[in-house]
Amino acid sequence: MAINFKDARQKLADATRISTQLNDIISTEERFIRNTKDSANKAKQSQVLEQLAKLDVEKLRDATEQTIRVETLRKYGHTNIASIYHSSEQQLERIPGITGESAREIKSITDAMYTAIAQTISYGIKINELSSTDIDLITNLQALEKIRTATKGKTATMKPVAETITQALAYTAPLKSRIRWIFTNSQGKQKALDALSTIALVVGEPTTMMLLEAAKSGLSALEKPSTKKPVDDFTTRSSDYYALLEDVTDTKPSTLANRHFTQDLLDKIESQELDTSTINATLRRYQTFGGKFALTQNRVIIGDEMGLGKTLQAISAMAHRASLGANRFLIIAPASVIINWTREIQSRSSLPVIKIHGEDHPQLLQQWIANAGIGLTTYDTLKSFALTPEQIQGLNIDTIIADEAHYVKNLHTGRARTITRWLDHAPNVIFLTGTPMENRVGEFINLAKLLDANLGNSLDRIAMAAGPESFMKAVAPIYLRRNTADVLKELPDLIQIDDYCTWEGVDESFYTDAVIRGNFMGMRQATFVPLAGRIPSKLERLLELVEEAFESNQKVIIFSYFRKTIDLVTHHLGDKAIGPITGSTSSQERQNLVDQFQNSPQPKALVGQIQAAGTGLNIQAASVIILCEPQIKPSLETQAIARAHRMGQVRTVQVHRLIVPESVDEQMLAMLARKQAEFNEYARESALADGATSAKEIGEESIAKVIVMEERKRLGVQGSGEVILKDED
């Protein structure tokens, strides 16, 4: 048997080099995974022990019918459950009066307490209280992300290739020299030749060379120093870090889906594949589920609370369908979020996007028609698309995504009629909205009708006759909502405070006059209308809150519905303020102001009207939010708060709502509570309440009229006209 030993040795050298580099990056990644898991376990253990330390030793008596000598334990220094947990049975048994049986029972109870807390607690990094374990965890996660980014997540694919080459190399020793070959028996020679053949086949595969380059990139990335220190990087990109941690530790969120889903539907969704190879992000488990839900059910509402990444879920569904050959998608969104959508698509995926908006939108529309990809437009621009139903049909749009879908909740508007023309020609539709119902259940039903007319029509009867439980079961096949508290266990606390102010410094006559005239908007603004040379109590408190925040190196967002209030606040803050963001601020300028705020090394206050600045922006740099007045829609406040209290936030968020008692403010608080209760009944998955259905038809005008009448009665004045809802700014 003639052997070209020179050629064989070269092939073996190449194979050894490839195997070494593949195994190096694989073992390095595995090491960082182990380190991450160890750090996460230590950190979680520390948090569990903190909870146990808060439990008095008296708790032992509540957990057993046996007699526990609590006072004896306390006498010997065991004042809390953590102290008991750290002790062995033998140590406890040495305490006078504690028998062996009692010691075993005590340890059994404390171990059970530890397990119970460990199952419920979710590890969250407190940026202002970093432990050495936290820093180790963040450092390991940064290194792990470097590897996965550089290798494009291909280490799992590398493993079988590396194993095949390594196993084959084990049989090739006879080929390394002529002498060895001569003294090898025929069986050994055949194994060597078979192994060489396997190596030649594997090494010659283009995939192997691609994996080798990925391995080299991964090893090279680790050698380069990071542009940011781990903690600084975590502070700005915590959502990416937590997503990676969730993946590494195989953490399952407590709530993946609507509890009204049937088991068949759950099984169907779970078995759905989701190709994320073109997604430049690690999806959280609940986000993966959302993408699968959209793929499985085709025409859906994803109604997750603000800040949970509905945009990324929609992008992941498009990316999957693109991997199967789909090439045309349409996204419709308010103008204010167009820039954010463009950024998200470009940074999170490799999908091509064309922004069809602005003066040259006709040319951009033709470009999208010619080249396909993702067409991104606004609700108003969509109206101007001069395409016939036949032309729309001919586009073969795979998926239409409507962001802030509550914009089309009224089916009689031109906006709704326009989008309906397009929805009729797309097999897959995703409505994204954190507020599917702002004023009444009918708004929710209207969205359902746009997706499935038969289901939508049946919901009318169910909502009126059967109640919220039956309603949620009926809508479950098209509606997915997860709440922040359910899926973002690591999210810092949200503290909401009603700051009660006075009429000090306020022109009360302005308020009384507004009540008499039925000027509802004037009533709401009155607490910020100053007497000559005076500062209103609300403004004074606002300035105090800003100073307190700055002293703690915290950034602030200030929201008001009214332009005059915003201008007054901005004037008094001076160079401490960034903005204001108003309804007339362009979407690009809005984003520029947010970027300036986010990137400022010094604490600043971002000031904006709640309608303009309270939606479509991610502002995790802020940890203090000030609401100048209660809002007529719960969604406005919820969305505004979610600008900061969302995925990526690493600090506790304080929300201060400024209230003047015995004013429209208190009336608004009561109305807000009623409307939130109705939402909870019919649209919020995790908290179905028993509130009265009589609130279902309460709208803004009705609320205004009720409040005006109540204030006229309280003040003992007569009205002089109809209620004025228009802002007279």
Q: What is the pLDDT of residues 679-720, one digit of tens each?
A: 555 555 432 222 323 333 446 777 788 888 888 888 888 887
What is d(CA 327, CA 714) in angstroms, rounded to the nearest whole number?
A: 62
pLDDT digit string, tens, across residues 605-614: 999 999 887 6
How far is Cα 447 from Cα 409, in angstroms, rounded to an integer? 6
Q: What DSSP element (H or E) covers 409?
A: none
pLDDT range class, residue 729, cuts 50, 70, 90: very low
Written as one string, the DSSP assignment of 485-499 is HHH-TTSPPEEEEEE
**Average pLDDT for the chain:** 86
Q: Is the peptide bond before 580 cis (omega within 30 degrees of 0)?
A: yes
- Using DSSP's 3-state secondary structure scheme, residue 564 falls into helix
- What does the pLDDT read at residue 692? 28
Give me the torsion for CA of 413, 417, 423, 425, rounded to 10°.
-170
pLDDT of residue 423: 93
pLDDT digits (tens, 9 = 90+) for 32-84: 999 999 998 888 888 888 889 988 888 888 777 778 888 888 888 899 998 98
Q: Is there a contact between 423 and 294 (Cβ–Cβ < 8 Å)?
A: no
Least confident residue range of 157-166, 344-353, 446-455? 446-455
- Residue-wise pLDDT for 388-447, tens only, equals 999 999 999 999 999 988 888 888 888 889 999 999 899 999 999 877 766 667 788 888
pLDDT at 146 over 80: yes
Query: Quick one: which of 302, 220, 296, 298 has its CA closest to 262?
Result: 296
295 pLDDT above the threshold of 90: yes
How many CB atoms within 10 Å of residue 701?
A: 12
Three-state SS for 471? Answer: helix
What is the rounded CA–CA span in Å between residue 643 and residue 628?
16
Could you give the C-alpha distances from 329 to 344, 371, 374, 507, 624, in angstroms and in order?
15, 11, 5, 54, 38
Per-residue model confidence as pLDDT tens digits over 341-371 = 998 899 889 999 999 998 899 999 999 999 9
* Residue partners of 174: CB distance under 8 A and separation at least 6: 180, 181, 184, 188, 189, 192
pLDDT band at 448 (very low <50, low <70, confident <90, very high): confident
Query: How far is 353 from 345, CA to CA, in rounded Å?
Result: 7
pLDDT for 419 equals: 92
Q: For the ranges 306-320, 347-361, 485-499, which has the lowest average pLDDT? A: 485-499
